[in-house]
Amino acid sequence: VGMKIDIVSVFPEYFDVLNLSLFGKAQEKGIVSVAAHNLRDWTHDVHHSVDDTPVGGGAGMVMKPAVWAECLDELLGLEPVEMGACDASEDAAADSAGVDDQPTDEQPAADASEVRIDRSEQPTAVDGIHAQPSDATDDDTQAMPQSEADAQPAAAPGTVLIFPNPSAPLFTQRDATELSHAGRLVFGCGRYEGYDARIPPYYRAQGVDVREYSIGDYVLNGGEVAVSVMLEAITRLLPGFMGNADSIVEESYTGENALLEHRQYTKPAVWRGVGVPDVLLSGDHGKVDRFRRDEALERTDRIRPDLIAKLDCRRLDKADRKT
């Protein structure tokens, strides 16, 4: 079975487009299955209110933790847990994406095998994919939650809970690759000024792999667009999603030494008097590769010097150094 995706939003209709195009086909093929849920379905008041004023004052509204928790408990198959003497400011401080969370005495003894994603294509260490270190396996000797009654099975294996958040670490191709190995993704779209900060650390304490990501340095009104972006970046990497698997390998931002791509041309060789670079017509594959590599290096240096700064110099060849 394919990857299962749940999206929670106050505008679930926004995701109707996922039934179209490549994504619709992937659903038909069983590569992915998506369900968009309305957060207001988990409210009990007549106004179906999901937000409230910020504690400490200030403008805007914050999404209430109780509504999110009823929804997420149901989707993740978790029972509500009363946290003992929990200071939100401490655990919440480490609640960003991919943070290397160490288990604390307060955390339930989640089986390390429960939240594991196969990262065989990711030899480089990436923080945080395993919710628990492997020494947290012996249930009998583990520190228990506040009471026996709090113990509960963690969310299903390979489940990752993702919150778009403009104040979180940037979502990158590396994150997309890593998350493409998850069995299930649950996205929680915040609106207004965001969601109550206790939600991510609470679910992390329940043994769930929780991530928060921003998609760039600009402001959006809510998480829906950000979720669409992340979802597309992740699902296009699933086997069988794209028609042509090699079109993935040569792209920008993939691999250890990410460069912007060289430019592409198709026929005719001269269009409205504008020709393509002669070398591309030469039939000399060595020269074509060299030309494209030089162009990729030159364009990256000019447009994205931050990517050049991250390059591993040992991976450049002599000819590269000239550019």
Binding-site residue set for S-adenosyl-L-methionine? 190, 215-220
Determine the 3-state secondary structure of 253 from DSSP: coil
- Cβ neighbours of 195 (radius 10 Å): 26
Q: DSSP string of 37-68?
A: EEGGGG--STT---EEPPTT--SS-EE-HHHH
145 forms part of the interface with ligand 6GU (CB under 6 A): no
Report the alpha-carbon distance of residue 204 to residue 197 in Å, rounded: 12
| CB 20, min distance to ligand 6GU, A | 23
Report the alpha-carbon distance of residue 164 to residue 214 in Å, rounded: 6
Cβ distance to ligand 6GU smaller for residue 61 or 112: 61
Cβ distance to ligand 6GU smaller for residue 108 or 164: 164
Determine the 3-state secondary structure of 281 from DSSP: helix
Show contacts with ligand 6GU in window 211-230 (CB under 6 A).
Answer: 214-216, 218-220, 222-223, 226
| CB 215, min distance to ligand 6GU, A | 4
Q: Which part of the chain contacts ligand 6GU (CB under 6 A), choosing from 53-61, 75-83, 208-216, 304-312?
A: 208-216
Phi, psi of 244 (to 5 degrees): -120, 105
Cβ distance to ligand 6GU smaller for residue 172 or 257: 172
Report the alpha-carbon distance of residue 46 to residue 270 in Å, rounded: 66
* Residues annotated in a binding site: 190, 215-220
Residue from 166, 169, 183, 277 in contact with ligand 6GU (CB under 6 A): 166
Residues that bind ligand 6GU (CB under 6 A): 164-166, 214-216, 218-220, 222-223, 226
